Amino acid sequence: GDILPVDPAAFSTEDPATMPGAMVSLAGEGFGPEPGQLVVTVGNQQQAAEVHGWYDLGIYFKMPLFVVNGPTTAQLLVLRGDGAASNPVTVQLNP
């Protein structure tokens, strides 16, 4: 029989707070061997993160350079290479 891929699931970042431009590790599963995309949303702004490492169980990426004036909520969404999307993960973005 065919082995079906696990649905992508994002768990959490190594640190619950980060800064624009910082390197971040996101743990999860089912991200697949081929890089997809990690999208970061802050308010009504959305940017693709610069991925530096893509693994089935995690992603190492550079947080986009959003301008924030105080602690702000950011949402991370993993889009696997085949288009499957993970659940969103919330992280605090500090100036």
The DSSP secondary-structure symbol of 75 reads E
* pLDDT tens column, 24-65: 999 999 999 889 999 999 999 999 999 999 999 999 999 999
Distant-in-sequence, close-in-space partners of 3: CB < 8 Å, separation ≥ 6: none
Question: With 60 as the cut, is the pLDDT of residue 4 above it?
Answer: no
pTM, rounded to two decimals:
0.92
Question: With 80 as the cut, is the pLDDT of residue 3 above it?
Answer: no
pLDDT for the residue 6: 78
The DSSP secondary-structure symbol of 85 reads B
pLDDT range class, residue 1, cuts 50, 70, 90? low
Amino acid at 64: P
Specify which residues 78 forms β-bridges with. 38
